[in-house]
Amino acid sequence: MARFDRYVTDSTKTLVNLSNSILRHYGHATFHPSLPEFDHLFKGHRKIAVFLFDAMGEAILNAHSYLGRDFLKHGFASLYCVNPATTVASTTSFLTARFPVETGWIGWSQQFDNYGIPIDCFRGTSSIDKSKVEDFSMDKECPVTRLDSLLAEVGVKAKISYPYPLSEVGPKTYRDIEAQATDFFANGGEFLYSYYEEPDSSLHQRGVHSLKVGFIIRALSKAVERFAKNNPDVLVLVIADHGQIDVKTKDIAKVPEIRDALRKPISLDGRCRAFFVKEECKDAFPTLMKKHYPDFEVLSASEALAEHFFGVGNPHPRIKEFLGDFIAIAKGDSLLVDTSRKSNVHILKGHHAGITKEEKMILVCAYNK
């Protein structure tokens, strides 16, 4: 994995290793090494709550150090998110204690040959026109076993909470998250994972330094502080799935020699793209990408797997179907779209899935240690 060492990739200090520490603590077999500092932290704690605030990486907290000072003062350890640094891959990796290469959950949009199109994994919609794909379920295409089920195997009362409308009974606000977590532990709960989509949504729309983002971080920190104070017997961890940076959108439709070399639409994420390339264009494709997009690292799918870019472990049987022929990974501030195949491109100010430190580093905050 030498090529990516300089891009803060370490498969022994990730969210996957954190979730393996959780498995180890509760007496379940692990899939990857745990983290000694967390193994020690968990001792004596039967009740653990993990709040994941989407995209609230370490660099985001530092960018809003005044409004996020309560989180920063509870900082316990810095970890790396998995590659790609995106919600589908990262949250699934934490919840399964396995890497994206193992789960097959590797990006926002993945090519499914049985449907003939790339599909937005979480939403079950076509990545091309956003129409609903009938009968599609990511859990059916790439089945996984999550922490709640794994921990139930060893007798732990565990829950995974998603906000409304991801879950019909899920919390709608950060105050609802606080209230539902309190109720869970008051009724015998032992392990809780609770996901919230902010500040990711606001970062996408407004950018890293938006004051609104700072106010959201402050509100979240106050909610966590209250919950921790009112539930002193619960060890509370706050994590993120990745960070974000401000980005510039580039359209491959404006580069005919790239656009015309493709046999299928691009997929995965804007800053970690999968390319499906015509046979006669494969030899020239890496050189063309370097010419037009020098701030992307371009690997063949085989190279990416050989270098464990998507993590370590036994590759999912459909991984090559999802990766295509080449992977282009952002090391600068660019994001790639293709308006020749998708006209309703929404230009975003902030994004992730690249290999900058700002996207990869996560600060784990701990309360009631």
Residues 124-140: tens digit of each pLDDT: 999 998 899 999 999 99
pLDDT-derived band at 2, boundaries 50, 70, 90: very low
The pLDDT of residue 177: 93
Q: What is the mean pLDDT of residues 114-120?
A: 95
pLDDT tens profile 206-251: 999 999 999 999 999 999 999 999 999 999 999 999 999 999 999 9
Burial degree of 58 (CB within 10 A; 0-12, 13-18, 19+) = buried
Residue in the structure block whose two tokens are 């992307």: 296
The pLDDT of residue 343: 63
Rounded to two decimals, what is the model's pTM?
A: 0.95
Which token pair is 340? 């020749």
What is the phi/psi pair of residue 319, to 5°? -60, -40
Supply the angle between the helices 15-26 and 87-96 in degrees, to the nearest 10. Answer: 20
Sequence-separated (6 or more) residues with CB below 8 Å from residue 350: 55, 203, 204, 205, 206, 207, 208, 244, 245, 246, 247
Judged against a pLDDT cut of 90, whether residue 10 lies above it is answered with: no
CA dihedral 156, 162, 168, 172 (to 10 degrees): 120
- Closest to 91 measured CA to CA, from 196, 217, 174: 196
Q: Could you give the percent of the chain with pLDDT greater than 70? A: 97
Give bridge partners of residue 138 from the DSSP assignment.
none
Question: What is the domain partition of the chain in residue ranges?
Answer: 2-105+119-244+356-367, 246-351
pLDDT tens profile 142-178: 999 999 999 999 999 999 999 877 788 888 888 999 9
pLDDT-derived band at 357, boundaries 50, 70, 90: very high
Q: How far apart are CA 369 and CA 367, in angstroms?
A: 5
What is the phi/psi pair of residue 246, to 5°? -75, 140
pLDDT tens profile 331-346: 999 999 999 987 677 7
> Residue 16: how many CB atoms within 10 A of its CB?
30
pLDDT-derived band at 1, boundaries 50, 70, 90: very low
Give bridge partners of residue 299 from the DSSP assignment.
327
pLDDT tens profile 172-215: 888 999 999 999 999 999 999 999 999 999 999 999 999 999 99
CATH number for the domain whose boundaries are 2-105+119-244+356-367: 3.40.720.10
Map 93-133 to HEC letters.
Answer: HHHHCCCHHHHCCCCCEEEECCCCEEEECCCCEECCCCCEC
Q: Which residues of 200-237 are buried (b: 16+ CB within 10 A; e: fewer)?
A: bebbbebbbebeebbebbbbbbebbbebbeebeebbbb
Judged against a pLDDT cut of 60, whether residue 3 lies above it is answered with: no
pLDDT-derived band at 6, boundaries 50, 70, 90: very low
The pLDDT of residue 93: 97
> Residue 134: how many CB atoms within 10 A of its CB?
7
Look over the chain and give the mean of its residue pLDDT values, rounded to a whole number: 94
The pLDDT of residue 11: 76
More confident residue, 94 or 307: 94
Sign of the CA dihedral with 243 first, then 52, 10, and 92 last = negative
Q: What is the mean pLDDT of residues 99-124?
A: 96
Residue in the structure block whose two tokens are 């603590």: 25
Residue in the structure block whose two tokens are 């290999």: 355
CATH number for the domain whose boundaries are 246-351: 3.30.1360.180
